[in-house]
Chain A
Amino acid sequence: MGLLSDPNRRKALTNLLTRLNAPICMVCYLAAIVWFMGLAFEPFTLRTYMSENAMGSTMVEERFSSGERALSLAKEFDAHKRKAGGMPVEWLVKAMQARGLEVFTQSFSRKLPFPDENKERYMVRGTNVYGILRAPRAPRTEALVITAPCSPGNSDNQAVGLLLALAQYFRNQIFWAKDIIFLVNEHDLIGMQAWLEGYHHTNITGMEYSPLQGRAGSIQAALSLELSSDVITSLDLILEGLNGQLPNLDLANLFYAFCQKLGVLCTIQGKLQRNDWDTAEGYTHAAQTMMLMVLKQACGRSWGDHGLFLRYHIEAASIRGINGFRHYKMDVATIGRLLEGMVRKLNNLLERLHQSYFFYLLPSLSRFVSIGYYMPAFGLLAVILLLRALDLWVNLGAPALEAVDGVTEAEQPSGPGVLTVLTPVVISHLTGVALYLLPVHLQEMAVEHFPVSETEAVVLTAVAIYTAGLALPHNTQRLLSGEGTEQGWKVLKLTALLYLAVLLGCTALINFSLGFVLAVTLVPITASMTPHMPKALSALAMVLLSPAFTILYCVFIYQELIEAPVSVGEGWMLFLSVISQGILDHALYGSLVYPLLALFIYPCWLMFWNILFWS
């Protein structure tokens, strides 16, 4: 700090920073990318370990053996599901009651803001059925949840069958210390949201539901089960939840420990672990797994039924059975044993899962990257914005600095009026508000005038508003009385840079992946943007690095990573459906990615667009 209080040395430092600004920024950017890619390299990552003492050494013996019963229950459930054309409420209530559970139902209904074309639903009406296994001699203060969805068609019957078989087996045991809730939810996430809101007696998304009759205290952990075939080859663990929230790493460790113990093949992001980290293929594999996690987390969706639990501070994960083309097959009883082991370990918990990490990336199930390791990658990107801002600040204050030696406050009352800066800021934000509000509210009008469906109307309105925003700078200039001065754009850019730095910084703290993905695309173009660059070329570069194109690239990269590459046309359709899903996720479950992009990131990007066309 002596460095800053001494005017001479301070001047030397700022001189150095301004002179070497561009090269430092370049180095930072490259270092950030290299650092990030290095995270997947095995020697740089840590091996996962069980932090929670209560789940560590006390290995339990699994005895669940009624796999056949689970399968016959699955068939029975399937038959009744077909007959009822949806959730077979009566049958399920009877089946749970016969197993000695306290059974309750919850009906809910939800009108979507516009029809969901992926899942073909608009007016959703359904019933959740749940049974509570009361732990002997426990005062109903703690609970664990096991859920299975009642999905249309043939899928997830085995999950419900296994759920019921587990309930029967668990009911006959004496060792439970926490109540166990067996939940079968209809309409996947909507039903889950209704149940969670009912359980916690809140209403954050405008869902209509009947109040819950039975409760079991505070829920400590939840496991969601997806199983669609009688035999499986591997189990996939899904962790990414709403808004990029992740469950405590110990839950993943627990799953991995039991997979190891029972010899079950386990995957994450659908990718098996490889042992050859020192080969190029091995590294690429780990990098792909980690990139998939980053992309999934960045999009802020709940990737399984577990994802909505995380908001309520309930550690949850989904376990999905995969029947691939492998030699080695497992029956349902093995999965039952795995779940039994996990639930018994969770039952042993004395405290909520809190010992291990909440912020991590997984290049494989046995390796993790903690927040301390991945944050520098983002920090290096954020530093670029700050360095550019510093450069501008010094530039703007340069004449003032000479006059008042040694005082940092280079206020310029005679500089460009507040209006010059404020106008573009306000206008871009109003565009953002329009982008946020209009697509859903204008759908009826759009449907009337154009031959499109509601969903298409919403998405295309969003794209149209987004594109229309690009025409703004010319109009902004016309609105202003004075000419944009050299000082003017610098002040605007300084504001925009700091604004972007704060935005991305806050985003990265909550959802690292989203912050990082946005920073990677936004930082280079925003850092280098001036009005003196060749207009056409830099405009093209800006558009290609705008938030919408970032989403488009993510779609292509994601498809590439899950080994289902798509053509440009299909990619475009996927892009449109991603947008509609984002808007739906926001309306239905309160996902924050769409409002963040529409209300903050896009206006911020528009401010830079303004600078480019500053005259």
Chain B
Amino acid sequence: CQPHPGSFQEELVIRPLHSGDIYASFQFRTLWDTDFLQEGQKKVSHYRLFPKSLGQVLSKFSVQELHISFTQGFWRTMQWGQPFIPSPPGAELWVWFHDTVSDVDGNWKELTNVLSGIFCASLNFIDMTNTVQPSASFKPLGLGNATDHRFLRYATLPREIVCTENLTPWKKLLPCGSKAGLAVLMKSEKLFHSSFHSQAVHIRPICQQCTSKAWELRQTLNVVFDHYTSGQGKKEWSLFKMFSRTLTEACPLASSSKVYVDITDNPELFELSPATPLLSQAVVLGDRRTYSVYDLTRAETFGQLRSFNLLLRWKGDSGDMLRPLLHAERYVAGFGLQTGEIHTVIYNNHPYRAFPVLLMDSVPWYLQLYIHTLTVTSKSRDNKPSYIHYQPAKDRHRPHLLEMLIQLPPHSMTEVTVQFERALLKWTEYTPDPNHGFYVGSSVVSALVPSMVAMSTNFTQDQPLFSSFVPVKEESSYFVRVYTEPLLVNLPTPDFSMPYNVICLTCTVVAVGYGSFYNLLTRTFQVDEPSPPLAKRLANFIRRIRGVPLLA
């Protein structure tokens, strides 16, 4: 039987930010109407658009849903607003396994190692000491109502550095590779000359006209270009300037290939050329936005020169941005190497609506949290969380997991503090650069943020992809996930630079000091008696044999 060919869509959204920076977001979606997890079915071996390497991994490890992101830099919510798809600095991986899996931990371990090979990343450093099972923060985004968090694994590697070696395997997963279509823009020397770089892969089962189950693979790449470091003062942008390439064709395999430019603030802010008659409106993150659409499947887009270069010229200064409704930050308070306090500050900037947020914190075991010192305060009043899920750490086995449902009052700042003590590690447990410090992953704030704009819930094809990623059940609110900064914490560190001195000194102190004191303390002093004469000894020997008392 012929498997359904599936479809492939690609798009690029360009959003000029109020700070003067440019946000470019690529999304590639591959749909495939098949189900490799279905039991009793023949093993799927014929792949067309869907990358085989991932398909095999999914079926081998019975993965229900997989989300992996590699991010270099920190998304500056206060300057840039909300991203289309948020991700924490470093690497993040969360996976829902199929509920038929018996050994979830074993599958997870193998899966991370395989993914590590596929993406050329240090995902093999994910082990039980940094894996958690969040009970509420990470719900499946696709089909299937599995909510038993025993089948969920979540881990972050805040220290992971993302560079070209991660980009190349990511590009290879695309049907056209980087040969045609939007992917030709992805030249690493430009992508990594930016303020923010994030690439992700999301795989989930979705409903194809709700008759059959289909697999959706979304590959996203988000970049923010900084106008200071690359603009030489001239605020002018073009595709060529950003990516040192122009577009000449769509990917031939793509059923749709579009470039969107956010022109909601046009014409006050910038001027766009070439102009396009095609406009599209979409509600993104609670805000109605207008987009110019350039369809790359149509020849007239490329014009006379057979190449499409978008030019964007700023006019005057950018205005103030509306404060994002939800915003969070985190820092370590205190000084010294014994104790400290983690402060997580969550801002609700909505003028009159309160809303609940789910805060998830995963803290490594070597920061020993004093959970009795946990306080949540909003507007200098105690704010009791309505739900707390806390799993204490086990030394060298598992991290702390803290999840809380907190109601944020309108227009307020909520501060969550918890004290910790820094553990003294064994000397082999230190990293090769212990004085750099140890990382604590970002905490995750997930919330349904109220929006003014009602949002339609059906997944229709003509809606832009970036607006339909997260299914929203409740009208008039939208789902947002905000990641805080990771923390860098110094632990008490021995001076590794002079082990020789240390060993010599300790050995000497122990040998000389302790040894002789021990000697002095345990030795009994007695007066030495001269040995008895031979005759007496002989007599005593005989008396001992006879059993009579010895001579003195």
Contacts and interface: CB of A to CB of B under 8 A. Distances in A.
Interface of A: 1, 4-5, 100, 102, 134, 136-142, 171-174, 200-202, 215, 217-218, 311-313, 350-352, 354-355, 406
> Which interface residue of A137, A201, A311, A354 has the most chain B CB atoms within 10 A?
A137
Contacts, number: 99
Contacts of A137: 72-73, 192, 194-197
Given A137-B195, A139-B485, A4 B520 contact: yes
Interface string B62-97: 000000000011101011000000000110000000
B444 to A, nearest CB: 15
B228 A218 contact: no
B89 to A, nearest CB: 3
- Name the 6 nearest CB pairs between A and B, nearest first: A1-B516, A139-B89, A201-B333, A351-B435, A137-B73, A141-B488
B436 A136 contact: no
Contact of A139 (B74, B516, B525): B74
A355 B497 contact: yes
Contacts of B78: 102
B329 interface: yes
B158 A218 contact: no
Nearest to B229: A174
A312 B335 contact: yes
A217 B434 CA distance: 17
Contacts of B18: none
Given A174-B193, A201-B331, A215-B329, A134 B485 contact: no
Interface residues of B, number: 51
Given A174-B229, A350-B436, A355-B497, A202 B74 contact: no
Nearest to B434: A351
Given A136-B229, A173-B229, A215-B329, A142 B433 contact: no
A217 B336 CA distance: 15
Nearest to B484: A140
Contacts of A136: 73, 194-196, 226, 229
Residue picked from A141, A201, A354, A355, most chain B C-beta under 10 Å: A141
A202 B343 CA distance: 12
Given A137-B192, A137-B196, A202 B331 contact: no
A172 B193 CA distance: 12
A200 B79 contact: no
A217 B435 contact: no
Nearest to A143: B488
A200 B335 contact: yes
A50 to B, nearest CB: 14
Contacts of B196: 136-137
26 contacts: A1-B515, A1-B519, A4-B520, A102-B78, A136-B196, A137-B72, A137-B195, A139-B485, A139-B486, A141-B486, A141-B488, A174-B229, A201-B341, A201-B343, A202-B334, A202-B335, A215-B331, A217-B488, A218-B489, A312-B335, A350-B433, A350-B436, A352-B436, A352-B437, A354-B493, A354-B495
Contacts of A201: 331, 333-334, 341, 343
B508 to A, nearest CB: 14
A413 to B, nearest CB: 23
Contacts of B331: 201, 215, 217
Nearest to A354: B435
B438 to A, nearest CB: 11
Given A1-B520, A174-B229, A200 B333 contact: yes
Contacts of A171: 228-229
B168 interface: no
A202 B333 contact: yes
B332 interface: yes
Given A218-B332, A351-B435, 12 more contacts: A4-B516, A4-B520, A137-B197, A174-B193, A201-B331, A201-B334, A201-B343, A215-B331, A217-B488, A313-B490, A350-B433, A354-B495
Contacts of A173: 229
B439 interface: yes
The residue among A4, A202, A218 with the most chain B CB atoms within 10 A of its own CB is A218
B523 A5 contact: yes
Nearest to A173: B229
Contacts of B487: 141, 217
Interface string B301-335: 00000000000000000000000000001011111
Nearest to A136: B195
Nearest to A54: B433
B335 A5 contact: no
Contacts of B434: 351
Contacts of A218: 332, 437, 488-490
A313 B335 contact: yes
B343 A140 contact: no
B158 A139 contact: yes
Interface in B5-50: none
Contacts of A142: 488
A351 B158 CA distance: 17
A406 B437 CA distance: 54
Given A141-B486, A201-B333, A215-B331, A351 B433 contact: yes
B302 to A, nearest CB: 32
Given A136-B194, A138-B74, A202-B335, A217 B485 contact: yes
A95 to B, nearest CB: 15
Contacts of B335: 200, 202, 311-313
A458 B343 CA distance: 40
Contact of A406 (B486, B516, B525): B525
Contacts of A5: 519-520, 523
Nearest to B163: A137
Given A139-B74, A141-B485, A202-B334, A100 B79 contact: no
Nearest to A6: B525
Nearest to A3: B516
A145 to B, nearest CB: 15
Nearest to A355: B497
Contacts of A313: 335-337, 490
A502 to B, nearest CB: 19
B524 to A, nearest CB: 11
Contacts of A200: 333-335
Nearest to B78: A102
Nearest to B513: A1
Nearest to A179: B74
A422 B343 CA distance: 48
Contact of B79 (A102, A138, A172): A102
A437 to B, nearest CB: 27
Contacts of A102: 78-79
Contacts of B515: 1
A94 B287 CA distance: 30
Contacts of B523: 5
B320 to A, nearest CB: 12
